[in-house]
Structure 1
Amino acid sequence: DLVIERVADPFTVYGDPDSLAADSSDWDVAFVTRRMDWRAFAARWPGAEAVDFEDEDLAGAGGRIEGGSQVRLVEFWRREAVERSLITLTDGQEMEAEVFEARRPFLEAAGLAPAGPPRTAPGVRVVQRILSGAAVLETVDWPGKFIPLVPVYGEEIRVDGQRRLRGLVRDARDAQRMFNYWRTTSTELVALAPKAPFIGRKGAFDTDQAKWTTANSQTHAFIEYDGPEPPHRQPFAGVPAGALQEALNAADDLKSIMGLHDASLGARSNETSGKAILARQREGDVSTFHYIDNLSRAIRHAGRILIDLIPKVYSAQRMVRILGPDGAPALVEVNGEGTAPGGRIFDLAAGRYDLTVRAGPSFASRREEAASQMIELIRAYPPAAPLIGDLLARNLDWPGAEEVARRLARANGGG
């Protein structure tokens, strides 16, 4: 099965330095480093030398690394040019000769046969090699034509011909340092400020010296003094207003540099009308749109990798679990001689496919989005409620929604 997994540490991935594509779909080489316990290493590759890349003197010398319990391994991905053998079928579609031979019985049953002799065409193949510090441990022929690593970039700029990647907070580091400094300063001033002392003439505190000594840390019912005038307390001057103001200025600088103001953060600000709030939120969307755009490119490239792999991995007859546009699961037979409901045959190797990615409001599923839009339609046009009430109930994500939808449909004269 095809599975999408995360890379826990992005700094372990070294992509192709000659890549120019925004989604890195043109990577020809890539390295992924990881560490493995030497016991697991010995169990997976018996007899192989557990030599780390950092120990150049031990490479090829044999034996486990002294004092180390883990071995650093490297996944070396490389895309190489090859010659492919293509076959043109009677319906006009082209298919690799290996795929055709693997699916010949099904294709011939469908009335498809080669329309001529095979022809050669340039192509690529992807090879994964797992390396230790001493040898190539394993070689894997990847079925797809893309290196299956999908980076999500932030801001990309070119400086003196070199590619530099930046994050949202890079330009805000100085403002963050200033904010940290002034908040630390104000905290320090409060923490180191002396307790408000009592001031009196000499000998005024001799009557009950123990209580006067602990007056700032303990509560006493009464404290006596001896003198013509009572002691008075020196008030605390408080934190200088300049330190607090500078911290506020630094916080405003952070928002201005990143383009994320109070409205974008969901906090109450000076805006009062809905249009003004939306305008400020759009400013935040525009300032960070290139990050959303790069995420869309990464999702599109991941989908392109899956489209390339699906007919090669799911090439035999099998049942697969799919999700419909409304998020409802179903089991479908693919690559089989039987037909699906409605007389449809799902041949994953037939045809060519593409995908599109739309970035917008976050919904858990298209069902949730449909329910939200239907509710807005009913608010704008209440007479539509009896007409689409069953459809709205069917798209609501709570137990019993299907039964409610059936009852509404029967109430409106439906099945």
Structure 2
Amino acid sequence: MKFLFADSDNQEQWLPAVRARRQLEGQPMLTVNKTHTHWLHVVNQAKANRPGLHVHPTGSEATYEAAMVFENIIRHIEYASDAQTAYMNACECQVGGGIGYWRIVTDYADDNGFDQEIFIRPVPDPLAVYMSPVKRKDGSDATFCIIYDDMPRAQFEAKYPNVAPSLVGMNVTESGWLTKDSVRIAEYYEVEEGKEWMYAIPNEGGGFAFKRESELSPLERDLLKELATNGEEVRRRRVDKRTIRWYLIAGNQVLERNTWAGKWIPVIRVVGEEIVIDGKMDRKGLVRYLKDPQRMYNYNTSAQVEFGALQTKTPWVGPLEAFEGLENYWATANRENHAYLAYNGMDENGNPIPKPERPQPPQAAEAFTAGMQAAAIEMMMASGQYEATFGKQTQELSGVALDNRKDQGERATFHYLDNLANALRFTGKQLIDLIPKIYDTRRVIRIMGEDGQESQIQVDPQARVALQQERDAENNVIRSIFNPAVGTYDVVAKAGPNFDTRREEAFQAMKELITGVPQLAQVIGDLFAKMGDFPMSDAIAERIRNWIPPEVRGDGATASEKQLMGQLEQAAQIIQQLQQALQDRTEELKIAKQQVDTDALNHLALRMENERKSQIDAFKATTDRLDKLLAVLSPEMLAALGLQSSTEALEAPPLSAGQDIPGLSGAEAYATGLVVTDLGKPVGQP
């Protein structure tokens, strides 16, 4: 770990002997820490693909729904404990130094009651843990474990005023256990092996639930007594019993002691690589493979800098006679831009003097440059992580080819993530074992779904089934009662992207589906909106969901939903009836309008016919009168009468275009076809 976090200040990547010699000789010691980058790639890959716990029912009245409740309780424990920090702290130590730890503890939920909660806590320093030799990587077969921490002496004396720890009688070679300023507090777990009975308890389905004597509930104990009283056979057998003792120690004093509720030591180890060689355990992480190429890189980098620094920096070289008398110009030639630089070309005897020349600039040593390149390649070879793993552009052009090349580097370090998942699975097994023992009283606890939504559930250790749900008249769940002691369960850990990443991927996938097939919006519209990471997405999803039929959603409609659907159907029928009535009324109005138009035209035609007859009769009467008048008038009288008529016609105001015809309304005039021209003269019918 020192090598991993080495830098130019501590120079932990240089061997002590080499460091002392180079410091004595004043040689540069550069630290270009490429190891940390390789380590970061593995750790950040684990952070991006954190393993998740999944609970499965395995028998004895366990149900899938109860397994989901178990899973949600574990998820809430992780959230309340900030367990991801503990997991990643252990992963950093696992990849860097070969081993990391986290632990499970219990504590009171608050200061106003006796209910306890389960928490997952980090172990910042893996060297503060001493565990018995184990054969299983998760440490489930450990027989003892010590975890220590240093407490300030003032704090220790305030918490334990009557305790005076010492090292008398202890085989302790380190002086760090008791110092002037601190007291080392050690927690010690040990396993006591014993025997106990396991009983086969009949259940209502005709099967049996297998329970250890220490795990029997009061109801189950009463049932066994009743069976024995009635002379019925009680099936039982002897099994191993593990009891975990816990002690809190300071020096040679035992401060506290207790019995741990679980059947395993609650310290989970996550290892990098372990192998037994010549009877000895060899444990390591990624860093040890990178130490030699990293030192090689640092040495070549330092030697390259030293080689360049030792080369001459003199800008001009020439005979002393060439500069004689011109020293002021040549002394400032490297700082000022002179128009010309003069030199003495002849000596006193007239012999030519060579002109000053600029030497070759400092050159890099090809051997050191090649050494740096070789060291970088060897680090990639040792870690299995090449340029494509770190995102460098290579000859692969397609996205699939780039991903395949990147996966090659990740496969070389996948065993770290796999060991992390195994440790997390063992954590889940311990939690499944602890939850029925810690949540052993009736209470309401909070649970958390995979999407982060919290809810509440009632724990009742006296319930006869694993999970039962009480519903109201509208079939809505009003209360869920959970008994964690009913049934047996197992847990698996799967590594993959976290929920937020998978939610974004699901949102994009649904978006492409709806874009290609818009009709799918009527089927998955609520799920699409729910996956969106924008304000009010949940409210939008709920509103869309109300418009999707229950048979499409895949769930049954509640009473309120059925009532609402009935009202919607009734409203749709009323709207349809109103639309039909409106259509019928429109047809009636159309027919009535046509009838009115026909009657008006008939009336107008009759009126025009009467007017025509009147005009014909008047014209005939006038003609008869003129005939009689012409018979008695002389030519002179007819001329005078014509002149007067013409004068009256010219003096009368002309009719303008659009003016009503005297004796006819505007509608009648247009209906008969009479129009008035621009000259003001009426035109006859067309």
TM range (shorter): 0.7 to 0.9
User: Given the superposition, is the C-alpha separation of residues 196 and 333 from structure 1 closer, same or farther in structure 2, using an over 3 Å criterion?
Assistant: farther
User: Given the superposition, is the C-alpha separation of residues 247 and 52 from structure 1 closer, same or farther in structure 2, using an over 3 Å criterion?
Assistant: farther
Task: Quote the residue 2:413 is aligned against.
Answer: 288
Q: How does 1:224-303 map to 2 (within 5 A)?
A: 225-228=341-344, 231-303=356-428
| 3-state SS of paired residue (1:353) | strand
User: Given the superposition, is the C-alpha separation of residues 150 and 232 from structure 1 closer, same or farther in structure 2, using an over 3 Å criterion?
Assistant: same
| 3-state SS of paired residue (2:390) | coil
Is 2:159 aligned against 1:44? yes
| 3-state SS of paired residue (1:285) | helix
Instruction: Please state how far the C-alpha of 1:179 moved relative to its aligned partner.
Output: 1.1
Unaligned runs of 5+ in 1: none
How many Å separate the matches in 2 of 1:153 and 1:395? 36
Does the Cα contact within 8 Å between 1:178 and 1:250 map onto a contact in 2? yes
How many Å separate the matches in 2 of 1:220 and 1:58? 69
How many Å separate the matches in 2 of 1:144 and 1:170? 36
Select the structure of larger CA radius of gyration.
Answer: 2
Is 2:146 aligned against 1:31? yes
| 3-state SS of paired residue (1:25) | coil
Q: How does 1:183-222 map to 2 (within 5 A)?
A: 183-202=301-320, 204-205=322-323, 209=327, 212-213=330-331, 216=334, 219-222=335-338
**Partner deviation per Cα, 1:66-88 (whole Å, 9 max, x = no partner):** x6211223222111113446565
How many Å separate the matches in 2 of 1:290 and 1:57? 37
Does the Cα contact within 8 Å between 2:300 and 2:372 map onto a contact in 1? yes
Unaligned runs of 5+ in 2: 1-116, 229-233, 346-354, 471-476, 551-560, 562-686
Supply the AA of the counterpart residue of 1:12: A
User: Given the superposition, is the C-alpha separation of residues 206 and 405 from structure 1 closer, same or farther in structure 2, using an over 3 Å criterion?
Assistant: farther
TM-score normalised by the chain length of structure 1:
0.83
How many Å separate the matches in 1 of 2:165 and 2:327? 74
Supply the AA of the counterpart residue of 1:264: T
Is 2:189 aligned against 1:77? yes
> RMSD of aligned C-alpha atoms?
3.4
Task: Quote the residue 1:357 is aligned against.
Answer: 493
User: Given the superposition, is the C-alpha separation of residues 399 and 334 from structure 1 closer, same or farther in structure 2, using an over 3 Å criterion?
Assistant: farther
Is 2:437 aligned against 1:312? yes
- Which segment is superposed worse, 346-355 or 401-410? 401-410
Is 2:275 aligned against 1:141? no
Instruction: Please state how far the C-alpha of 1:32 moved relative to its aligned partner.
Output: 1.7
Does the Cα contact within 8 Å between 2:323 and 2:343 map onto a contact in 1? no
- Which segment is superposed worse, 330-339 or 181-190? 330-339
How many Å separate the matches in 2 of 1:81 and 1:175? 49
Aligned residue among 320, 323, 345 for 2:448: 323
Does the Cα contact within 8 Å between 1:155 and 1:166 map onto a contact in 2? yes
Aligned residue among 510, 523, 529 for 1:393: 529
Task: Quote the residue 1:383 is aligned against.
Answer: 517
Does the Cα contact within 8 Å between 2:130 and 2:147 map onto a contact in 1? yes
Does the Cα contact within 8 Å between 1:389 and 1:405 map onto a contact in 2? yes
Q: How does 1:82-121 map to 2 (within 5 A)?
A: 82-84=194-196, 89-91=201-203, 92-95=208-211, 100=216, 104=218, 113-114=223-224, 116=227, 121=239
Instruction: Please state how far the C-alpha of 1:333 moved relative to its aligned partner.
Output: 2.0
Instruction: Please state how far the C-alpha of 1:50 moved relative to its aligned partner.
Output: 2.6
Aligned residue among 111, 125, 128 for 1:9: 125
Task: Quote the residue 2:290 is aligned against.
Answer: 172
| 3-state SS of paired residue (1:375) | helix
Supply the AA of the counterpart residue of 2:166: V
| 3-state SS of paired residue (1:2) | strand
Supply the AA of the counterpart residue of 1:243: F
User: Given the superposition, is the C-alpha separation of residues 47 and 210 from structure 1 closer, same or farther in structure 2, using an over 3 Å criterion?
Assistant: farther
Does the Cα contact within 8 Å between 1:207 and 1:225 map onto a contact in 2? no
**Partner deviation per Cα, 1:172-215 (whole Å, 9 max, x = no partner):** 32211111111111122233333252224425556574674465
Instruction: Please state how far the C-alpha of 1:267 moved relative to its aligned partner.
Output: 2.2
Which of the pair is proportionally richer in helix? 2
Task: Quote the residue 2:627 is aligned against.
Answer: none
How many Å separate the matches in 2 of 1:50 and 1:287? 49
User: Given the superposition, is the C-alpha separation of residues 82 and 46 from structure 1 closer, same or farther in structure 2, using an over 3 Å criterion?
Assistant: farther
Does the Cα contact within 8 Å between 1:212 and 1:223 map onto a contact in 2? no
User: Given the superposition, is the C-alpha separation of residues 223 and 136 from structure 1 closer, same or farther in structure 2, using an over 3 Å criterion?
Assistant: farther
How many Å separate the matches in 1 of 2:169 and 2:310? 49
- Which segment is superposed worse, 117-126 or 73-82? 117-126
How many Å separate the matches in 2 of 1:137 and 1:58? 22
How many Å separate the matches in 1 of 2:530 and 2:260? 42
- Which segment is superposed worse, 47-56 or 155-164? 47-56
Instruction: Please state how far the C-alpha of 1:136 moved relative to its aligned partner.
Output: 2.2
User: Given the superposition, is the C-alpha separation of residues 214 and 347 from structure 1 closer, same or farther in structure 2, using an over 3 Å criterion?
Assistant: farther
Supply the AA of the counterpart residue of 1:8: P
Task: Quote the residue 2:638 is aligned against.
Answer: none
Task: Quote the residue 2:555 is aligned against.
Answer: none
How many Å separate the matches in 2 of 1:374 and 1:397? 9
How many Å separate the matches in 1 of 2:449 and 2:147? 35
Does the Cα contact within 8 Å between 2:326 and 2:343 map onto a contact in 1? no
User: Given the superposition, is the C-alpha separation of residues 242 and 9 from structure 1 closer, same or farther in structure 2, using an over 3 Å criterion?
Assistant: same
Task: Quote the residue 2:597 is aligned against.
Answer: none
TM-score normalised by the chain length of structure 2:
0.52
Instruction: Please state how far the C-alpha of 1:317 moved relative to its aligned partner.
Output: 1.9
Does the Cα contact within 8 Å between 2:137 and 2:269 map onto a contact in 1? no
Supply the AA of the counterpart residue of 1:184: S
| 3-state SS of paired residue (1:156) | strand
User: Given the superposition, is the C-alpha separation of residues 8 and 214 from structure 1 closer, same or farther in structure 2, using an over 3 Å criterion?
Assistant: farther
How many Å separate the matches in 2 of 1:180 and 1:314? 56
How many Å separate the matches in 1 of 2:253 and 2:432? 34
How many Å separate the matches in 2 of 1:57 and 1:14? 14
Does the Cα contact within 8 Å between 1:78 and 1:128 map onto a contact in 2? yes
Task: Quote the residue 1:405 is aligned against.
Answer: 541
Supply the AA of the counterpart residue of 1:373: A
Does the Cα contact within 8 Å between 1:52 and 1:73 map onto a contact in 2? no
Instruction: Please state how far the C-alpha of 1:313 moved relative to its aligned partner.
Output: 1.0
How many Å separate the matches in 1 of 2:454 and 2:168? 47
User: Given the superposition, is the C-alpha separation of residues 74 and 235 from structure 1 closer, same or farther in structure 2, using an over 3 Å criterion?
Assistant: same
Instruction: Considering Cα pairs closer than 8 Å and 6+ residues apart, tell me whether 1 or 2 has the greater RCO.
Output: 2
Instruction: Please state how far the C-alpha of 1:413 moved relative to its aligned partner.
Output: 7.0
Supply the AA of the counterpart residue of 2:458: E
Supply the AA of the counterpart residue of 1:399: P
| 3-state SS of paired residue (1:75) | strand
User: Given the superposition, is the C-alpha separation of residues 46 and 85 from structure 1 closer, same or farther in structure 2, using an over 3 Å criterion?
Assistant: farther
